Amino acid sequence: MKNNKDMPPEEHGGPLMADVARLAGVAISTVSRALANPGRVNEKTRAKIDAAAKQLGYTPNAMARGLRVGKSNTVMIILPGSLYYGVSQVIPQVLQSINRALLENGYNLMIANLGRDADSERHILDLAFGGTVRGAIILSSKLPEVDGRSLANTGLPIVSMLLDMSAAGLPSVVTNDREAVREATAEMIRLGHRRFLYIAGPEDNYHDVERYAGALQAVREAGLSEEVISRSGGNLDYQEGFAIGTQAAADFARLTDRPTAVIATSDDMAISFSSRIQRSGLRIPEDLSVVSFDGSPVCEFCSPPLSTISQPFEEMGQVAVARLLDIIGQSEKEWETPIVVRSRFILRESMAPPSS
């Protein structure tokens, strides 16, 4: 069924609720209630209306509804400046799980990319203050703020993901960075390693602080001095993982008392590091063990297969959405502590006892 010649609704855009009402022989308000409010209208009338709506191919206008109800059914995800990494599928995975979870609850997902420019900040604030979005999930450490408007003091429900922003009053969904790295480091120690190279993300970054703390904790718990960990990197962002790893390989070559184990804080770093190291003649894991963070699928196909800490992006997305809808539903609820979804350590051939 396509064009209907009963009524002439094809004038402006699609058919209107009024057209459905006319065709069904009822009032507009009855149509509205039939389509949205379950118990409020007679079953026979509803059937007639449903039929009419389907016949006309009627779709309610989202803006009109939104304006009247005063709420949108769109949620925005605020993504950091650069969206892509080397091999990690963070963005796609997060997007997919969040989008699915939102869809199941009748929400749409809008992308908002937060760069360093005031323009993108302004844009996000417009989305928030202009009533376009009903909530936000943020993957960036900076809350947009410009011209005295700030995301912080809107009533807009916000959930932080990946980063723990509980301190800023935002409910947060994170993974146990620290503990995961502690475990991986402990495993290295158990294998017999006593000197480490830690390849760092950007200094002061939440993840790097946590992960480094985890490594330190492991060596302390083993009764080792913190001195056994050398650091490389710290000045580049995670997006620059390959460059960080490459640089780390150079740093490694210059170390006098060479580590036997490497803890890279992203798969990208581990991959470019390994590539350079192997090219220089060292073997993994015979001469050097490697573990990294992220859990990119490709790690399984590296040579040798890379041990990595798999981040639960899918589950974090789901939990973040659940939390957000919670907040949207019941009004104010402050969260003091973040929700933690555990990462999973995957042991592969890149880790072995030191050869000496």
Q: Which residues bind DNA (CB under 7 A)?
A: 1, 3, 12-13, 16-18, 26-30, 32-33, 35-37, 39-42, 44-45, 58, 60-61, 64-65, 67-70
Q: Does 300 bind a second copy (CB under 8 A)?
A: yes
- Angle, CA of 151, 162 and 93, to the nearest 5°: 110
Rounded Cα distance between 146 and 122, Å, is 7
What residue 123 binds from DNA, a second copy, none (CB within 5 to 8 A, per partner kind)? a second copy
Which tokens in the block code for residue 203? Answer: 């200094």
Decide if 93 contacts 313 (C-beta within 8 A): yes
* Nearest distance, CB of residue 201 and a second copy, angstroms: 18
Among 45, 93, 105, 217, binds a second copy (CB under 8 A): 93
Query: Measured between alpha carbons, how far is 14 from 61 in angstroms, rounded to an integer?
Result: 9
CB of 55 to DNA, least distance (A): 15
Residue 45 contact, options DNA, a second copy, none, Cβ 5-8 Å cut-off depending on partner type: DNA
Neighbours of 64 (CB within 10 A): 11
**Please, which residue, 56 or 90, has the CB nearer to DNA?**
56
Question: Min. distance of Cβ 152 from DNA in angstroms?
Answer: 22
* Residues that contact a second copy, how many (by CB under 8 A): 68
Q: Can you tell me the distance from the alpha carbon of 228 to that of 216, in angstroms, rounded to the nearest whole number?
A: 9
Burial of 136 (0-12, 13-18, 19+ CB in 10 A): buried
DSSP 238: G
Q: Where are the alpha helices (DSSP H) in the chain?
A: 17-24, 28-36, 43-56, 62-69, 90-104, 118-129, 177-191, 206-221, 241-254, 267-279, 313-329
Torsion over CA: 314, 316, 322, 325 (sign): negative
Q: Which 240-299 positions form the footprint of a second copy (CB under 8 A)?
A: 242, 245, 268, 271-272, 275, 278-279, 296-298
Residue placing its CB nearer to a second copy in the complex, 134 or 323: 134
- Cβ 100 to DNA shortest distance, Å: 24
Q: Closer to DNA by CB, 24 or 341: give it.
A: 24
Is residue 53 a contact partner of residue 35, using CB atoms and an 8 Å limit?
Answer: yes
Distance set, CA 201 to CA 21, 73, 184, 213, 287 (Å): 61, 36, 17, 13, 24
54/190 with CB nearer a second copy: 54
Residue choice 103, 168, 250, 347 for contact with a second copy (CB under 8 A): 103
For DNA, the closer CB: 18 or 111: 18
Nearest to 94 by CA among 80, 73, 115: 80
Q: Quick one: 217 or 246, whose CB is closer to a second copy?
A: 246
CB of 311 to a second copy, least distance (A): 13
Positions 73 through 92 that interact with a second copy (CB under 8 A): 74, 82-87, 89, 91-92
CA–CA distance, 288 with 281 (Å, rounded to integer): 11
Q: Which residues 131-170 are close enough to bind a second copy by CB under 8 A?
A: 131-132, 147-149, 153
Binding site for a second copy (CB under 8 A): 1-2, 12-14, 54, 57, 59-64, 66-67, 70, 72, 74, 82-87, 89, 91-93, 95-96, 99-100, 103, 108-113, 119-120, 123, 125-127, 129-132, 147-149, 153, 242, 245, 268, 271-272, 275, 278-279, 296-298, 300-303
